[in-house]
A and B are shown apart, each in its own frame.
Chain A
């Protein structure tokens, strides 16, 4: 994977911490980690999405799973499945920066930069810029289904059951 080689070049000798933003990024993170031929550590974080059942009525964002690692003086790379508005990544970056890391950057498999509401984000590595369509598979879900599909599929929401390309 080209992204892995690029990250390895940029972080040689620095042992970055890759932080998977759950849930959808877990498959991408597994592949990315194996494609980075330098020492690096892994951790995970999960935020409750707006309006999700996991929110339990909270009006403010809630961390469902925080980092296990201490990130002070570490190079942190947030691993995202997709970046749209940037609201989630913006929250993560601001939160992590309060913990005094050496650097915070982001890697995303898919990007929709034309949907961005928050522009000044440290998105350093992008797999693919994609059209404004919905995907499932490779960790991406549709109401918690289809994550297990081995590759990305395009979804047509208007179609009735089984409407996958």
Chain B
């Protein structure tokens, strides 16, 4: 998709990030704006495997904040998809209890932007 990707200051990856949505790009801009070092989808966690060890379900959180040791996952979308995402998060926490992960809501971005009805495509 034709996202206008700026030059990031706090991005710590080697390759330019390839965002899946405008919302992810906005979140990256917020982290960069506040000088929080970040990576985009650096890790894919296996959530479920079949009897042969083949991966049946996996989850790659959107961002990793390197100084905080924290993964963040965006939830700018409709409620049915948020529920699905919450289920994945629950599984991840069960299987990887030491991994820190938090949801970043559209509301968080709106508060930081001092606007209360951001029009963001998810």
Is A117 an interface residue when CB atoms closer than 8 A count as contact?
A: yes
Main secondary structure of the interface of A (DSSP, over half): loop
- Determine the distance from Cα of A83 to Cα of B82 in the docked complex, in whole angstroms: 24
- Determine the distance from Cα of A119 to Cα of B30 in the docked complex, in whole angstroms: 17
Is B33 an interface residue when CB atoms closer than 8 A count as contact?
A: yes
On chain A, the residues within 8 Å of B114 by CB distance are: 49, 51-52, 143
A-B pair number, CB within 8 angstroms: 70
Q: A60-B9, A60-B32 are in contact. List 20 more A-B contacts (CB 8 A).
A: A49-B112, A50-B33, A50-B109, A50-B112, A51-B113, A59-B9, A59-B29, A60-B33, A61-B33, A61-B35, A84-B112, A85-B108, A85-B112, A87-B30, A88-B34, A91-B35, A117-B36, A117-B104, A143-B114, A157-B117
Instruction: Point out residues on B near A: beta carbons under 8 Å.
Output: 6, 9, 29-30, 32-36, 65, 68, 70, 72, 102, 104, 107-109, 111-118
Instruction: Point out residues on A near B: beta carbons under 8 Å.
Output: 49-52, 59-61, 84-85, 87-88, 90-91, 94, 115-120, 132, 134, 142-143, 157
